[in-house]
Amino acid sequence: MLNTSLPNPPGAFAATQHDAGPMTVSTLGGVLGARVGGISLAEPLTPSDATRIKAAFAEHSMLLFDDQDLTPDHLIAFGNCFGEIEDERFIPKLEGHPGVHVLKGISGGKLTTQNLIWHVDHSYKERPLMMAALYALDVPTTGGDTLFANMAAAYEALSGRMKAYLEGLSAVHDVASYGLSSGLFDSVEARSAVGRMPPAVTHPLVVRHPVSNRKTLFVNQSWTTRILGLDPAESRAILDYLFAHATRPEFQYRLKWRNRTLCAWDNLALQHRGIPDYSGPRLMYRVSVAGTWRPS
């Protein structure tokens, strides 16, 4: 959960643009996302600006900050506004800057830890990441977009009967199972790492977001493997339907990256995935904030 109390409940901002001061927040998509302008994250945030950024984050679930000249230390400072920085175990680290990780990107169809299908970061842990942020250093002029999907909007679009059926059901989230079945752990070194991965956990299929209190559909194609209490064939059929439903185009926003853009998203509200349709470099820094909430 966020470090400080929000000044207004989520949804309190009805206008597209909030301009009480030099910082502006402009809505991007129909179901998620906003662009924050009039502020440099290379400068220390005032308490007022930090509060407004957190409020916009709670409302829009994903924020873009364009034309930012940021160092790794600036990224750490930004992440610290939301909570404790998480040290990732599967992403290369930036030497000398704990908590900052390097994503070099993989073009084409090769599957790696930096090029996954739809997923929620660390949903295979008891307490998934709260927030993640990417800062674009060198991105392709075409391709390499990132898709986000709003899990609350997906839940709200389910039929009443499906909502009633899903209530009370839980599913297994397992990082090792996905890696083994996908070919992600083809090498001897990668397979030897399976034993060091977190054990599988279970989370409800429907949860309430800890800040907005909105019900969300908490499944994702990468890590959710089966629904407890169902026959395997039943579980597979329902999960396949939910995976497809949760990522329908009307619940999405497609981010076309520009150099020097910082994107921060609510990992408890959105799924995301990268599109490997590019050639050439795609270099980014990443920071994330540890979760303190267990989906419930």
Q: Which residues carry out catalysis?
A: 119, 121, 272, 286
User: From the CB of residue 67, how many other CB atoms can be counted at a distance below 10 Å?
Assistant: 11
User: From the CB of residue 226, how many other CB atoms can be counted at a distance below 10 Å?
Assistant: 19
Residue listed under structure tokens 């992600």: 184
Cα angle 239-160-203, degrees, rounded to a multiple of 5: 40
Residue listed under structure tokens 């600036």: 74
DSSP 182: H
For β-strands 62-65 and 34-37, DSSP reports them as parallel
Least Cα distance to 119 among 243, 253, 220 occurs for: 220
> For the chain, what percentages of helix, strand and coil (3-state, to nearest 5) are there?
25, 25, 50
